[in-house]
Amino acid sequence: MQRDPVSSTQVKSVGYNRKDKILEIEYLNGGNVVRYYSVPPSKYDKLMAADSIGGFVSDKIKGAHRFREVTA
């Protein structure tokens, strides 16, 4: 999945597959890439518009969606 760089102190890049509702996040700390499943397009849009991408991920994505680490 293609990811685009973002301005964040916690997140390096973000990718999204609207058809499959998969959000992919590359974290700055350690470079881990995690896929979050069943993320609605509206939540992705709010993530990308958030003042704090890392804060949004912590508050609205982690713990709310099934996930799988795809690289370390």
Q: What are 4-19's pLDDT values in tens digits?
A: 999 999 999 999 999 9
d(CA 53, CA 67): 18
User: Residue 57: helix, strand or coil by DSSP?
Assistant: helix
Q: What is the tens place of the pLDDT at every residue in 21-54?
A: 999 999 998 889 999 999 999 999 999 999 999 9
Residues making up the chain, counted from first to last: 72
Cβ-count burial of 50 within 10 angstroms (0-12 exposed, 13-18 middle, 19+ buried)? middle
Query: Residue 43 is which amino acid?
Result: K
Q: What residue spans define the domains of the chain?
A: 4-71
Query: Residue 56 is which amino acid?
Result: F
- Give the per-residue pLDDT at 72: 53
- Give the per-residue pLDDT at 20: 98
Query: Residue 65 is which amino acid?
Result: H
Q: Are the C-beta atoms of 15 and 30 separated by less than 8 Å?
A: no
